[in-house]
Amino acid sequence: MASELNCMIVDDDPIFRQYISKQIKETNGLKLVTEAENAAKALDLLEEHEVDIIFLDVQMPEMSGIELTQRLNNGYEVILVTANDSYAVDAFEQKVTDYLVKPFEYERFAQAITKAQKNIEAFRKKKNIIEHIFIKSDGKIVHLRLQDVLFVEALADYVVINTEAKKYIVHHTMKGVEKKLPVHRFVRVHRSFIVNIEKIDYIEDLTVHIKAKSIPIGASYKETLYNTMNFL
Protein backbone atom coordinates (compact mmCIF):
# COMPACT_ATOMS: atom_id res chain seq x y z
CA MET A 1 0.00 0.00 0.00
CA ALA A 2 1.25 3.49 -0.79
CA SER A 3 0.91 5.03 2.67
CA GLU A 4 1.59 3.82 6.18
CA LEU A 5 -1.27 2.41 8.20
CA ASN A 6 -1.77 4.12 11.55
CA CYS A 7 -2.12 1.80 14.51
CA MET A 8 -3.55 2.10 18.03
CA ILE A 9 -2.99 -0.28 20.95
CA VAL A 10 -5.68 -0.60 23.62
CA ASP A 11 -4.59 -2.83 26.51
CA ASP A 12 -4.49 -2.38 30.29
CA ASP A 13 -1.22 -4.35 30.47
CA PRO A 14 1.75 -1.98 29.84
CA ILE A 15 4.11 -4.89 29.19
CA PHE A 16 1.91 -6.25 26.43
CA ARG A 17 1.42 -2.78 24.95
CA GLN A 18 5.20 -2.65 24.69
CA TYR A 19 5.25 -6.11 23.09
CA ILE A 20 2.76 -5.13 20.36
CA SER A 21 4.51 -1.79 19.88
CA LYS A 22 7.75 -3.64 19.12
CA GLN A 23 6.03 -5.80 16.50
CA ILE A 24 4.45 -2.76 14.87
CA LYS A 25 7.83 -1.03 14.63
CA GLU A 26 9.34 -4.13 13.02
CA THR A 27 6.67 -4.19 10.30
CA ASN A 28 7.00 -2.12 7.14
CA GLY A 29 3.92 -0.06 6.36
CA LEU A 30 2.77 0.29 9.98
CA LYS A 31 3.04 3.27 12.31
CA LEU A 32 2.05 3.38 15.99
CA VAL A 33 0.28 6.71 16.54
CA THR A 34 -1.26 6.25 19.99
CA GLU A 35 -2.09 3.80 22.75
CA ALA A 36 -4.54 3.60 25.64
CA GLU A 37 -4.85 1.59 28.85
CA ASN A 38 -8.64 1.42 28.73
CA ALA A 39 -11.56 1.63 26.31
CA ALA A 40 -12.84 5.01 27.51
CA LYS A 41 -9.51 6.67 26.81
CA ALA A 42 -9.37 4.91 23.44
CA LEU A 43 -12.67 6.52 22.39
CA ASP A 44 -11.27 9.96 23.23
CA LEU A 45 -8.01 9.31 21.37
CA LEU A 46 -9.86 8.15 18.26
CA GLU A 47 -11.26 11.67 17.99
CA GLU A 48 -7.73 13.09 18.00
CA HIS A 49 -5.82 10.65 15.81
CA GLU A 50 -6.17 9.10 12.37
CA VAL A 51 -6.28 5.36 13.03
CA ASP A 52 -6.57 2.46 10.58
CA ILE A 53 -5.85 -0.59 12.75
CA ILE A 54 -6.76 -1.09 16.42
CA PHE A 55 -5.08 -3.80 18.50
CA LEU A 56 -7.66 -4.32 21.20
CA ASP A 57 -7.47 -6.36 24.39
CA VAL A 58 -10.70 -8.20 25.23
CA GLN A 59 -10.50 -8.30 29.03
CA MET A 60 -10.26 -4.79 30.47
CA PRO A 61 -11.91 -3.16 33.49
CA GLU A 62 -15.11 -1.08 33.12
CA MET A 63 -15.51 -1.62 29.36
CA SER A 64 -14.31 -4.77 27.59
CA GLY A 65 -12.84 -4.91 24.12
CA ILE A 66 -16.01 -6.59 22.83
CA GLU A 67 -18.11 -3.74 24.23
CA LEU A 68 -15.79 -1.20 22.64
CA THR A 69 -16.12 -2.81 19.21
CA GLN A 70 -19.89 -2.40 19.50
CA ARG A 71 -19.41 1.36 19.85
CA LEU A 72 -17.01 1.75 16.93
CA ASN A 73 -18.09 2.54 13.38
CA ASN A 74 -17.00 0.33 10.51
CA GLY A 75 -14.03 2.51 9.57
CA TYR A 76 -11.45 0.53 11.57
CA GLU A 77 -9.71 -2.81 11.24
CA VAL A 78 -9.94 -4.33 14.72
CA ILE A 79 -7.55 -7.10 15.77
CA LEU A 80 -8.58 -8.50 19.14
CA VAL A 81 -5.89 -9.83 21.48
CA THR A 82 -6.52 -11.85 24.65
CA ALA A 83 -5.09 -14.57 26.85
CA ASN A 84 -8.41 -16.43 26.76
CA ASP A 85 -9.47 -18.09 23.50
CA SER A 86 -13.06 -18.58 24.73
CA TYR A 87 -13.98 -15.15 23.34
CA ALA A 88 -13.40 -16.16 19.71
CA VAL A 89 -17.07 -16.63 18.85
CA ASP A 90 -18.02 -13.25 20.35
CA ALA A 91 -15.13 -11.66 18.51
CA PHE A 92 -16.15 -12.80 15.06
CA GLU A 93 -19.78 -11.94 15.71
CA GLN A 94 -18.48 -8.36 15.91
CA LYS A 95 -16.86 -8.87 12.48
CA VAL A 96 -13.35 -8.14 13.69
CA THR A 97 -10.43 -8.57 11.32
CA ASP A 98 -8.65 -11.21 13.36
CA TYR A 99 -8.29 -12.70 16.84
CA LEU A 100 -4.89 -13.28 18.43
CA VAL A 101 -4.33 -15.35 21.56
CA LYS A 102 -1.51 -14.17 23.86
CA PRO A 103 1.33 -14.85 23.60
CA PHE A 104 1.58 -14.97 19.81
CA GLU A 105 4.60 -15.13 17.53
CA TYR A 106 5.45 -12.48 14.93
CA GLU A 107 4.38 -14.80 12.10
CA ARG A 108 0.82 -14.92 13.47
CA PHE A 109 0.89 -11.14 13.96
CA ALA A 110 1.95 -10.70 10.33
CA GLN A 111 -0.95 -12.86 9.13
CA ALA A 112 -3.41 -10.58 10.92
CA ILE A 113 -1.77 -7.52 9.39
CA THR A 114 -2.03 -9.00 5.90
CA LYS A 115 -5.78 -9.45 6.40
CA ALA A 116 -6.14 -5.87 7.61
CA GLN A 117 -4.11 -4.48 4.68
CA LYS A 118 -6.23 -6.35 2.13
CA ASN A 119 -9.46 -5.12 3.75
CA ILE A 120 -8.26 -1.52 3.83
CA GLU A 121 -7.06 -1.61 0.22
CA ALA A 122 -10.38 -3.03 -0.98
CA PHE A 123 -12.32 -0.47 1.04
CA ARG A 124 -10.29 2.45 -0.29
CA LYS A 125 -10.78 1.34 -3.89
CA LYS A 126 -14.51 1.02 -3.37
CA LYS A 127 -14.73 4.33 -1.50
CA ASN A 128 -13.07 6.26 -4.31
CA ILE A 129 -15.69 5.22 -6.87
CA ILE A 130 -18.87 5.62 -4.82
CA GLU A 131 -21.23 8.36 -5.91
CA HIS A 132 -23.78 8.21 -3.11
CA ILE A 133 -24.30 7.29 0.55
CA PHE A 134 -27.27 6.47 2.75
CA ILE A 135 -27.70 8.37 6.02
CA LYS A 136 -30.05 8.05 9.00
CA SER A 137 -31.68 11.42 9.68
CA ASP A 138 -34.99 12.35 11.35
CA GLY A 139 -36.01 8.72 11.63
CA LYS A 140 -35.50 8.11 7.91
CA ILE A 141 -32.85 6.46 5.76
CA VAL A 142 -32.05 9.08 3.15
CA HIS A 143 -30.30 8.50 -0.18
CA LEU A 144 -27.74 11.26 -0.67
CA ARG A 145 -25.76 12.00 -3.83
CA LEU A 146 -22.21 13.03 -2.96
CA GLN A 147 -22.20 15.61 -5.74
CA ASP A 148 -24.89 17.50 -3.80
CA VAL A 149 -22.89 17.72 -0.56
CA LEU A 150 -21.26 21.11 0.08
CA PHE A 151 -19.58 20.46 3.42
CA VAL A 152 -19.91 18.56 6.69
CA GLU A 153 -19.82 20.32 10.05
CA ALA A 154 -19.36 18.91 13.57
CA LEU A 155 -22.12 19.57 16.10
CA ALA A 156 -21.40 18.03 19.54
CA ASP A 157 -22.16 14.29 19.17
CA TYR A 158 -23.65 14.85 15.71
CA VAL A 159 -22.58 16.04 12.29
CA VAL A 160 -24.50 18.31 9.95
CA ILE A 161 -24.31 17.37 6.28
CA ASN A 162 -24.97 20.51 4.25
CA THR A 163 -26.29 20.03 0.72
CA GLU A 164 -27.47 22.46 -1.92
CA ALA A 165 -31.08 21.89 -0.88
CA LYS A 166 -31.06 21.26 2.90
CA LYS A 167 -29.19 20.17 6.01
CA TYR A 168 -29.18 16.67 7.50
CA ILE A 169 -28.32 16.05 11.16
CA VAL A 170 -26.72 12.64 11.67
CA HIS A 171 -25.57 10.93 14.86
CA HIS A 172 -21.97 10.23 13.91
CA THR A 173 -18.41 11.41 14.46
CA MET A 174 -16.34 13.48 12.05
CA LYS A 175 -13.73 10.71 11.96
CA GLY A 176 -16.39 8.19 11.00
CA VAL A 177 -17.83 10.40 8.26
CA GLU A 178 -14.38 11.22 6.90
CA LYS A 179 -13.58 7.52 6.52
CA LYS A 180 -16.76 6.99 4.46
CA LEU A 181 -16.11 9.77 1.93
CA PRO A 182 -13.90 9.46 -1.18
CA VAL A 183 -10.55 11.16 -0.59
CA HIS A 184 -10.31 12.58 -4.10
CA ARG A 185 -13.46 14.63 -3.51
CA PHE A 186 -13.68 15.40 0.21
CA VAL A 187 -10.97 16.78 2.52
CA ARG A 188 -10.83 17.67 6.20
CA VAL A 189 -9.86 21.36 6.49
CA HIS A 190 -10.54 21.87 10.18
CA ARG A 191 -11.32 19.81 13.27
CA SER A 192 -14.98 20.71 12.71
CA PHE A 193 -15.24 20.81 8.90
CA ILE A 194 -14.96 18.52 5.88
CA VAL A 195 -15.47 20.16 2.49
CA ASN A 196 -16.32 18.98 -1.00
CA ILE A 197 -13.37 20.22 -3.08
CA GLU A 198 -15.57 20.53 -6.16
CA LYS A 199 -17.79 23.04 -4.33
CA ILE A 200 -15.03 25.45 -3.23
CA ASP A 201 -15.56 28.91 -4.76
CA TYR A 202 -12.28 30.36 -3.55
CA ILE A 203 -9.76 30.35 -0.68
CA GLU A 204 -8.62 33.54 0.99
CA ASP A 205 -6.76 34.26 4.25
CA LEU A 206 -6.90 30.61 5.39
CA THR A 207 -10.64 30.53 4.81
CA VAL A 208 -12.55 28.31 2.38
CA HIS A 209 -15.59 29.95 0.81
CA ILE A 210 -18.45 27.74 -0.36
CA LYS A 211 -21.61 29.59 -1.37
CA ALA A 212 -22.31 31.95 1.54
CA LYS A 213 -20.34 29.87 4.08
CA SER A 214 -16.87 30.84 5.28
CA ILE A 215 -14.97 27.84 6.66
CA PRO A 216 -11.68 28.21 8.57
CA ILE A 217 -8.63 26.16 7.59
CA GLY A 218 -6.88 24.63 10.60
CA ALA A 219 -3.10 24.92 10.64
CA SER A 220 -2.61 21.14 10.81
CA TYR A 221 -4.95 20.59 7.82
CA LYS A 222 -3.56 23.22 5.43
CA GLU A 223 -0.92 21.00 3.81
CA THR A 224 -3.36 18.15 3.21
CA LEU A 225 -5.86 20.51 1.59
CA TYR A 226 -3.31 22.06 -0.75
CA ASN A 227 -1.87 18.66 -1.70
CA THR A 228 -5.36 17.49 -2.66
CA MET A 229 -6.13 20.49 -4.85
CA ASN A 230 -5.33 20.50 -8.56
CA PHE A 231 -3.26 23.67 -8.93
CA LEU A 232 -2.46 25.17 -12.34
CATH code for the domain in which residue 186 is found: 2.40.50.1020
171 in the same domain as 215:
yes
68 in the same domain as 152:
no
Q: Which of 81, 108, 127 is the last residue of a domain?
A: 127
pLDDT of residue 218: 93
199 in the same domain as 160:
yes
Q: Which of 73, 101, 127 is the last residue of a domain?
A: 127
pLDDT of residue 163: 95
pLDDT of residue 130: 73
For the chain (232 residues), the mean pLDDT of every run of 10, in chain order, is 82 93 94 94 87 91 84 83 70 76 91 93 74 87 93 92 93 87 89 95 94 93 85 72
Q: Which of 127, 150, 165 is the last residue of a domain?
A: 127
CATH code for the domain in which residue 122 is found: 3.40.50.2300
The DSSP secondary structure of the chain, one letter per residue, reads --SPEEEEEE-S-HHHHHHHHHHHHTSTTEEEEEEESSHHHHHHHHTTS--SEEEEES--SSS-HHHHHHHS-TTSEEEEEES-GGGHHHHHHTT-SEEEESS--HHHHHHHHHHHHHHHHHHHHHHTT--EEEEEETTEEEEEEGGGEEEEEEETTEEEEEESS-EEEES--HHHHHHHS-TTTEEEEETTEEEEGGG--EE-SSEEEETTEEEEPPTTTHHHHHHHS---
